[in-house]
A and B are shown apart, each in its own frame.
Chain A
Amino acid sequence: DAGVTQSPTHLIKTRGQQVTLRCSPKSGHDTVSWYQQALGQGPQFIFQYYEEEERQRGNFPDRFSGHQFPNYSSELNVNALLLGDSALYLCASSFPPGRRTYGYTFGSGTRLTVV
């Protein structure tokens, strides 16, 4: 049973560029959440997708956007990259919010370095 798969594992981008990160959820999960973990910090919630729509959003600028596909996989897009966007980006899959069954599964993350 595959867990959460993220790609790529590492990438380096230049300031001002755009980047797309990808996530495939655990089998049986249909909700995907994205978190940003800066070095030495705890993960911070970016947004959550369910039924191909953004359901919850954290305190991140509009440069951060996402998408969920009919097969439940998801993309995180970041435009106009800043040096401060360098971080580990974690994807977590789960059942939809409001369910009485707790179940987050995290991927291993994508390490983004902006130079």
Chain B
Amino acid sequence: AQSVTQLDSQVPVFEEAPVELRCNYSSSVSVYLFWYVQYPNQGLQLLLKYLSGSTLVKGINGFEAEFNKSQTSFHLRKPSVHISDTAEYFCAVSESNSGGSNYKLTFGKGTLLTVNP
């Protein structure tokens, strides 16, 4: 079984400041890791994913995340945020079964990022 812990339920920041949203996971098998963003009254949009290879993953809208296997972490970062980045962010894992994907996703509880002017 897998679990995901998002360490901050809310993160307020000022516009153009850097931000880090923290995510730790637990799993007894190899996993894939994801960050999704959810704007109000909308579904989930994939920001980035780690499947294999380089531990630094770049995604859309200037976001990046680093996979740290020893610390079982996958923190999301952005060097300079905009008002439009205000949204709920979810970290998720799924098992990597013989390299295959699209198994069920286990999500964290989410982090509400609020960017203030």
Which residues of A are in contact with B by a Cβ distance under 8 Å?
A: 4, 31, 33, 35, 40-45, 48, 56, 58, 90, 92, 94-104, 106-109
Contact = CB atoms under 8 A, between A and B. Distances in A.
Interface in B88-117: 90, 92, 97-110
Chain A interface mostly helix, strand, loop or mixed?
Answer: loop
Given A56-B104, A90-B43, A106-B43, A42 B99 contact: no
A97 B43 contact: no
B102 A42 contact: no
A43 B36 CA distance: 11
A2 B32 CA distance: 27
B97 A98 contact: yes
B7 interface: no
Q: Among the interface residues B41, B42, B92, B104, which one has the most CB atoms of the partner chain A within 10 A?
A: B104
Interface string B30-55: 00100010000111111001010000
Interface of B: 4, 32, 36, 41-46, 49, 51, 90, 92, 97-110
Nearest to B105: A45
Given A41-B110, A42-B90, A45-B105, A100 B100 contact: yes
Contact of A33 (B49, B97, B104): B104
Contacts of B32: 102
B110 A97 contact: no
Nearest to A96: B102
A58 B104 contact: yes
Given A42-B107, A42-B110, A43-B107, A31 B90 contact: no
